[in-house]
């Protein structure tokens, strides 16, 4: 037999799954009977005094206090007949919200108001439940702005504009980019006509000493989709988390350093001269975030080995470490993420840095390790 808290969790699960489709009229999930659980006569009698009698009494008291319908079945327990609860019946979505709590009643009230406004002001979108799930989370200011922006797009042609060029007071490009799905849904337009985001770029530095003597450019960039021929095919590529480290890396024959500066490697993975380099390395900070970034690069298709992110390097340079992140926020213990693309040794360092028992610094910035040491690590000297 389930406890009250278990069934309330079942109610919340159903409510979370169906509320938007119910309010929009797509489904009708209530009333609904939630099973409390069948219990055999033998089990009831064996555990009546210590388990089932207290549970039955708790169910009756709770149902009475909350004025909900509790369905029962008569079962003989020893020499008496007892009403054993079997199902809790919830009449409607509002009763469910009231029982669950956690702000659900106010959330449904807000959703109903916004649903009514949407239906009165705009064409009813094809996937109304999805839209309602999204806009119920908006602040009042954002919801009002959403209506204003949608009205503008329905009355104006934005073909060829970038998000920054859309002339709506109080709207900036980041807001517009973030809310485009809702604007499209409300407007009924097939497209807003805006120009796509500019393609990603990769910034890098040439390290080959012979090339550097030619007087040609040292720092370069490539854009996804834009054909480019490098002055030489790199045999060594080093991805550096820190821009300064990438720019100032010592000369290496056939080498190129890439400015990492992010948690994913989709841009770098688009260039075969990166992914197919005979020697491909990633060098980042020795901290939890550094290993999570590394895992992300590999997950995006950049099969890089690491340099100077092993346990021996951490032990040697831990004295120069810090206990705050790049924003000055204190680093604290935490639960290691799965990170399936780390090696065993990399994961050992990652777990150490997050362990509550760890007494050393939780971050060693790569800049604290001399560049000549990094150069030797790459060269194998």
Nearest one of 27, 30, 91, 35 to 59, comparing CA atoms: 35
The per-residue pLDDT for 147 is: 95
* Domain spans in the chain, listed from the N-terminal domain onward: 4-102, 105-187, 201-379
Among the listed residues 62, 56, 35, the one whose alpha carbon sits nearest the alpha carbon of residue 44: 56
Q: Which residues contact 361 (CB under 8 A, 6 or more apart)?
A: 318, 321, 322, 323
The CATH architecture one would assign to domain 201-379 is 3-Layer(aba) Sandwich (3.40)
Cα angle 48-52-55, degrees, rounded to a multiple of 5: 150
Nearest of 189, 104, 193 to residue 151 by alpha carbon:
189
Give tens-digit pLDDT for 202-214.
Answer: 999 999 999 999 9
Question: Which of the residues in the chain have pLDDT under 70?
Answer: 262-263, 381
Strand, helix or coil at 348? Answer: helix
Q: Are 234 and 255 in contact (CB under 8 A)?
A: yes
Residues whose CB falls within 8 Å of the CB of residue 275, separated by 6 or more in sequence, listed in order: 268, 269, 301, 302, 303
* DSSP code string of 269-290: HT-HHHHT-SEEEEE--EEHHH
- pTM for the model: 0.62
19 alpha carbon, distance to own chain's centre:
23
pLDDT of 103: 95
Predicted confidence (pLDDT) per residue in 294-312, tens digit: 999 999 999 999 999 999 9
67-95: buried (b, 16+ CB within 10 Å) or exposed (e) per residue?
A: ebebebeebebeeeebebbbbbebeebeb
What pLDDT score was predicted for residue 381?
A: 58
């Amino acid at each position: 037999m389930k406890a009250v808290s278990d069934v309330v969790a079942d109610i919340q699960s159903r409510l979370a799954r169906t509320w938007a489709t119910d309010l929009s009229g797509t489904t009708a999930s209530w009333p609904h009977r939630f099973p409390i659980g069948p219990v055999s006569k033998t089990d009831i009698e064996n555990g009546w005094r210590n388990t089932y009698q207290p549970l039955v009494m708790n169910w009756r008291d709770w149902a009475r206090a909350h004025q909900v319908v509790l369905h029962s079945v008569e079962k003989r327990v020893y020499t008496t007949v007892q009403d054993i609860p079997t199902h809790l019946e919830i009449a409607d979505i509002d009763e469910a919200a009231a029982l669950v709590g956690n702000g659900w009643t106010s959330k449904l009230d807000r959703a109903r108001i916004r649903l009514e406004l949407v239906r009165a002001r705009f064409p009813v979108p094809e996937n109304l439940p999805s839209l309602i799930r999204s806009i119920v989370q908006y602040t009042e200011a954002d919801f009002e702005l959403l209506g204003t922006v949608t009205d503008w797009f329905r009355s104006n042609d934005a073909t060829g504009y970038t998000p920054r060029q859309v002339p709506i007071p109080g709207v900036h490009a980041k807001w517009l980019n973030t809310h485009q799905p809702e604007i499209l849904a409300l407007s009924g337009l097939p497209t807003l006509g805006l120009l796509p985001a500019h393609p990603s770029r990769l910034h890098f530095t040439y390290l080959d000493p012979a090339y550097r003597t030619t007087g040609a450019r040292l720092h370069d960039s490539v854009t996804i989709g834009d054909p480019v021929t490098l002055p030489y095919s790199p045999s060594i590529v080093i991805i550096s988390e820190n821009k300064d480290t990438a720019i100032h890396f010592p000369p290496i024959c056939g080498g190129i350093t890439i400015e990492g500066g992010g948690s994913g490697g989709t841009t770098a993975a688009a260039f075969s001269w990166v992914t197919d380099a005979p020697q491909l390395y990633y060098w980042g900070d020795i901290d939890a975030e550094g290993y999570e970034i590394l895992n992300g690069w590999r997950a995006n298709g950049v099969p890089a080995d690491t340099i100077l992110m092993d346990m021996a390097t951490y032990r040697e340079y831990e004295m120069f470490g810090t206990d705050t992140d790049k924003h000055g926020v204190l680093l604290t213990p935490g639960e290691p993420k799965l990170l399936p693309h780390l090696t065993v040794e990399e994961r050992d360092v990652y777990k150490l840095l997050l362990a509550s028992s760890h007494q050393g610094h939780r971050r060693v910035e790569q800049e604290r390790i001399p560049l000549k040491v990094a150069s030797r690590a790459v060269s194998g000297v």
